[in-house]
Amino acid sequence: MRSPALSLGRRFAGLVAVLVAVPAVVQVAVFMHVAALNEDADRLVEETRESALASRLVVRIESLASFLESGEAARTDAQLLRIAASQLEQSRRAIESLSFESDEEDPSREEHQLAEERLSVAIEAGLDAVETWLSGTPGVELAEVEALLERGLRHASVLANETYEESQHAGADVERRARAMFGYTLSALIVVLLVSVAVSLLVRRLVLRPIRELQSGAERLRGGHLDHRIAIRNRDEIGALAGAFNDMADEIGKSHAELERKIEARTLELVRAARLADVGVLAAGVAHEINNPLASIASCGEGLLRKMDRGSAEPEEAREYLGTIVSEAYRTRDITRRLLDLARPAPSTSAAIDAAPLFEQVRALTHHLLEQRRMRIEIDVEPSLGSVEGDAGELLQVLLNLVINARDAGSDGGIVRVRARTDGDAQVWEVEDDGEGIADGDLERIFDPFFTTKAPGVGTGLGLSLAAAIVDRHGGSISAGRGPHGGALLTIRFADAARQSEVTP
């Protein structure tokens, strides 16, 4: 078998790589955005701190400027000097605090840091001039000190405004970064969701659907659809499995066709053998049944010829011989007629027949036959028996054959019981004698042609076979068993024509 062009292992490896790569990329991007956001937050904190320090520095320089407005008298007032020295010290500390307090790199922008250094130098120059004037150093003019301090105040105001604007800029950067991070994270989640949906659809298309098709194909193959094949959609392991399944189905189909051919051939052989066996049975039965009357005819003919040759044939004796020959010839004709009726049934006329009158006809036709053995017939017909579909003459022949068979099997002075009743949508006819019944070993053969338990020459063994054939032509069934009185019980079931018409629309 040729190896798949793109195996499931490779495809799943690609899917796993996508599932791993997408979250990894998302994680790296989120990490970078978090780092940038953290840097912007540090810058916002630093700029806010510097803005507060610059604002306080402006207030203290303004306080020193107010002190200088008192002129030379300010240097003689000890309390004012202490206040001025305190303001001066706090101003210097504020300038020192403007530098980044941590050992790490200042998060502020480089141009902002340069501007801070430049303005701090100018501010410190004014503070130095004030400190020199306060110390009483000769040659330092108050006007010059005021000018330097005024310049330092302007630079402090610029510094305060710049740090405020920088803090606002840093806050805007943090907000912008947060919005960007939210949007990127949402986009990444959407991408991950789309990738997951795509992966699930691919798995469904590449794995689940082909497996379901294989399952459906196996079920159809098990159900006998040997011509069913599975479409090979992909050149992977499942495609190879589908190809193997189709090859297996081809082999099964060929084996099944070969098996059917062999079964058909064997069936024909068995049918031929059965036909030969039936012909053998039929030939043996015909030979047995016809040989008896033929032997009687030959015997009587030879005896009559001998007497006629000797001239000793009396008319009465000759009449007796000829009567026997005629009787046996008629018996031979009756046997052949029954065989023809059994083998080639004449077409019958089918109609809805009221069943109850058939039993009264049977009573009338068999009355004298039963009286010969001092027997009587009991007929019990349900009043609401209804009708059956069929030929009245053939159905009457069935009842006559069963009653005559019961007469022959019963005992002298006995009773033949005939019953007819309804059972759901069917009619049940029963004929029972009071004889010894049918042996268990004979039940399976009781309806076979030429099978009889009567003495030789008494019956032909065709009565029950003919009755079974007629019942079968009428769509009914016949069975034999032991009746409640110990004798044989023959049961016939027919569909009730009236009830069938009520059920069938």
Tens digits of residue pLDDT in 211-225: 787 788 788 877 877
Residue type, 143: A
Percent of residues in the chain assigned helix, strand, coil, to nearest 5: 70, 10, 20
C-alpha of 221 from chain center: 15
C-alpha of 106 from chain center: 70
Helix ranges, 69-208 (H): 78-97, 110-134, 142-203
pLDDT of 503 reads 42
pLDDT of 491 reads 93
Question: What's phi and psi for 430, nearest 5 deg?
Answer: -135, 135
Q: What is the three-class DSSP state of 392?
A: helix
Question: From CA 490, how far away is CA 266, in angstroms rounded?
Answer: 36
Instruction: Say if pTM beats, i.e. exceeds, 0.85.
Output: no
pLDDT of 428 reads 93
pLDDT of 170 reads 75
Helices 8-68 and 110-134, axial angle in degrees (round to 10): 20
Tens digits of residue pLDDT in 236-250: 777 777 788 778 878
Rounded to 5 degrees, what angle do the CA atoms 344, 349, 355 make?
Answer: 110
Query: Mind listing the domains of the chain with CATH numbers?
Result: 29-193 (1.20.120.1730), 255-337 (1.10.287), 349-503 (3.30.565.10)
pLDDT means over runs of 10, the chain (505 residues): 57 72 75 76 76 76 70 62 73 70 53 69 72 65 69 74 78 81 79 79 76 80 78 73 79 82 82 59 58 70 81 79 79 68 58 87 84 90 87 85 87 91 89 86 77 61 79 88 87 76 46
Helices 78-97 and 110-134, axial angle in degrees (round to 10): 160
Length in residues, the chain: 505
β-strand 376-381 against 415-423: which pairing, if any? parallel
pLDDT of 1 reads 46
95-110 burial code (b ≥16 CB/10 A, e <16): bebbebeeeeebbbee
pLDDT of 102 reads 44
